[in-house]
Structure 1
Amino acid sequence: MAIKVAIFLLASFILVTTRVSSDLEEALAQAAPVAGHPGVAPAHAPAQAPPPHKIVDTKECFGVCKGRCSLHSRPNLCGRACMTCCSVCKCVPAGTAGNRETCGTCYTDWQTHGNRTNKCP
């Protein structure tokens, strides 16, 4: 009798693990489509950065920098750095964070007095 129970438990365990692994394989197949397969879009297409705000007159910097630094933890500090970068580089990246590379090397390579490369927000 004990042998029958052991065989039943072993068979049940094998059945359950087989079903779980096949569900996992189906989920992975749906999440990661074949890259070269036509008609199938990649799961996570890289998002393109919005275009930066090109500045013609330095008077435009105030409004653009105010929007850029609106969510910053220290908006006054961010605004001062942004105004400096805007007046020299004539560009402010779109959005409240990131996208720094859209303004070019003037914006991305400018260093602080401590030689840190993140002067411009």
Structure 2
Amino acid sequence: MNYKKSVTFFFLFALLTFSFILFPATAAPGGRRGMRAYCGSRCRGRCAKAGFQDRCLKYCGICCRECKCVPSGTFGNKHQCPCYRDMRSSKGKPKCP
């Protein structure tokens, strides 16, 4: 009986160890890769109708990485993300599209 418990414990410990190796923390949604994917998809939607998409994507990405949110839609709705709304350029104008 004691042998079965030790084998079970070893198996669970090995499974937990391998899960940390196979799924590192950087691949988690809160990690760097997860945030990059989140910001990329949200900013593509936000900048879909922008006249200068490359510039829109650049600034939206900067704002998203810092604020960790992007307002829904292609324009407006900045009340959904106060940090995004309140970021300003060096000239005092809104930084985020």
Give the TM-score range, shorter chain: 0.5 to 0.7
Q: Deviations over 1:70-97 (max 9, x none)?
A: 1001111110000000000000000111
Is 1:78 the equivalent of 2:78? no
Question: What corresponds to 1:115 in structure 2?
Answer: 92
Q: CA RMSD in A?
A: 1.4
Runs of 4 or more, structure 1, over 2 Å off, are: none
* Higher gyration radius (CA): 1
Gaps of 5+ in 1: 1-54
Structure (1/2) with the larger helix percentage: 2
Gaps of 5+ in 2: 1-28
Deviation at 1:107, TM superposition (A): 1.1
TM-score (norm 1): 0.50
One-letter identity of the residue aligned with 1:101: H
Q: Deviations over 1:29-50 (max 9, x none)?
A: xxxxxxxxxxxxxxxxxxxxxx
Count of residues in Structure 1 that have an aligned counterpart in Structure 2: 65
